């Protein structure tokens, strides 16, 4: 007899059962969930941007730089800001298509490391408190990132138009009110490996900037030339046929209201006086709607109605 024994880690299983987590509040009026097709489209665009950004940083810093996309998610702006350090480099960018503001966030020590490489240094990591960039350092960083952000237009060409330009640089996320706190934003998180020094950066853009054009495009139906020709032919056939459809036309006097007791006692030969003046035209009616006015007459031996006025009717 052969016995098989499965070894289980009881401590790990217990920890898994205890890690239930606290429930998170979900606002159904402002859902923070990306549709699968939208999320996939954004991931492909940001992955293209990441490859181009890594190539540009490698050529500018003259060291091997790898940039990979970690995640794309939709959160509120307040949630995004709370994740950032108290002091970090926040590059505020204006979206050319709208008046919205996008943010490229880079850790302060990573920014100083880039500057050291650009100025020909060995890339030393100095143990110093985070500080703001000097005027010369700001110019170097702005020039470096302007070329990278220009590639967003190419990366998003097949998704939505996205053209951003650098406006300014801030350092305290708590004082940067790029969008309202509760507004939904798209956040792309990147992993940067600069000469074997890993770090994380983020790019934030208001959700409406990306989702608005996509939702409008989803409602546009593109027809082929054959479909358009078939649709036009059907419309022409309908207009030709509608003129040959038989309709019932009646001519009526002004109606009169009588009581049920008068209707019950009606007999052959009785006369019902009408309230239609002799000088008033008759109503020409089709399907209960008055289309014209006419006067009584004859056409040979047949009783006829001569149209004297037509009603304007859109229907």
pLDDT of 298 reads 82
The pTM is what? 0.60
What confidence tens digit (pLDDT) does each residue in 164-216 have?
Answer: 999 999 999 988 888 888 889 999 999 999 988 899 999 999 988 888 877 76
pLDDT of 220 reads 46
Number of helices followed by number of strands (H, E) in the chain: 8, 10
Q: What is the DSSP letter of 96?
A: T
Point out which residues pair with 185 in neighbouring strands.
75, 206
> What is the full DSSP assignment across 203-255?
EEEEHHHHHHHHHHHHTPPP--HHHHHHHHHHHHHHHHHHTT----EEEE---
Homologous superfamily of 27-218: CheC-like (3.40.1550.10)
CA 148/CA 150 separation, integer angstroms: 5
Question: Mind listing the pLDDT tens digit of every residue in the chain (315 residues)?
Answer: 444 444 444 444 444 444 455 665 555 555 567 778 888 989 999 999 999 999 999 998 989 999 999 999 999 999 999 999 999 999 999 988 788 899 999 999 999 999 989 988 888 777 777 888 999 999 999 999 998 888 888 888 888 888 899 999 999 998 888 888 888 999 999 999 998 889 999 999 998 888 887 776 555 445 567 878 888 888 888 888 888 888 888 888 877 788 888 888 888 888 888 777 777 888 888 888 888 888 888 888 888 888 888 876 555
HEC-encoded secondary structure of 180-205: CCCCEEEEEEEEEEECCEEEEEEEEE
Contact 204, 178 (CB under 8 A): yes
Crossing angle of helices 207-218 and 36-61, rounded to 10°:
130
Q: What is the DSSP letter of 56?
A: H
B/e letters for 150-170, b = 16+ CB within 10 Å, e = fewer, are: ebbeebbeebbebebebeebb
pLDDT of 189 reads 95
pLDDT of 21 reads 58
CA 225/CA 227 separation, integer angstroms: 5
pLDDT of 22 reads 62
pLDDT of 48 reads 93
pLDDT of 313 reads 58
CA 256 to chain centroid, in Å, comes to 59
B/e letters for 194-215, b = 16+ CB within 10 Å, e = fewer, are: beeeeeebbbbbbbbbbbeeee
Task: Locate CATH 3.40.1550.10 in the chain.
Answer: 27-218
pLDDT of 2 reads 46
Point out which residues pair with 286 in neighbouring strands.
249, 289
């Amino acid at each position: 007899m052969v016995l098989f024994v499965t070894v289980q880690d009881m401590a790990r299983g217990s920890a898994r059962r205890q890690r239930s987590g606290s429930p998170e509040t979900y606002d159904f009026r402002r859902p923070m969930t990306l549709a699968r097709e939208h999320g996939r489209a954004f991931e492909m665009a940001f992955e293209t941007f990441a490859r181009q950004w890594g190539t540009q940083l490698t050529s500018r810093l003259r060291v091997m730089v790898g940039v990979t996309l970690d995640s794309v998610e939709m959160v509120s702006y307040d949630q995004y800001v709370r994740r950032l350090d108290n002091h970090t480099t926040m590059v505020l960018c204006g979206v050319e298509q709208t008046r919205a503001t996008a943010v490229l966030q880079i850790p302060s020590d990573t920014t100083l490391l880039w500057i050291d490489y650009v100025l020909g240094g060995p890339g030393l990591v100095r143990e110093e408190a985070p500080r703001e960039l000097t005027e010369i350092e700001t110019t170097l960083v702005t020039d470096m990132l302007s070329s990278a952000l220009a590639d967003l237009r190419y990366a998003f060409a097949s998704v939505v138009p996205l053209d951003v330009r650098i406006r300014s640089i801030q350092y305290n996320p708590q004082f940067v009110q790029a969008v309202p706190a509760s507004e939904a934003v798209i956040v792309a998180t990147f992993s940067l490996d600069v000469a074997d020094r890993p770090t994380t950066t983020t790019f934030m853009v208001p959700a409406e900037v990306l989702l608005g054009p996509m939702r409008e495009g989803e409602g546009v139906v593109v027809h082929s030339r054959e479909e358009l020709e078939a649709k036009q032919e059907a419309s022409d056939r309908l207009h030709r046929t509608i003129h040959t459809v038989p309709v019932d036309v009646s001519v009526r006097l002004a109606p009169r209201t009588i009581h049920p007791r008068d209707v019950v006692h009606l007999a052959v030969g009785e006369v019902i006086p009408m309230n239609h003046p002799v000088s008033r035209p008759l109503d020409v009616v089709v399907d209960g709607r008055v289309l014209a006015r006419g006067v009584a007459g004859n056409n040979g031996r047949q009783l006829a109605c001569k149209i004297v006025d037509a009603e304007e009717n859109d229907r």
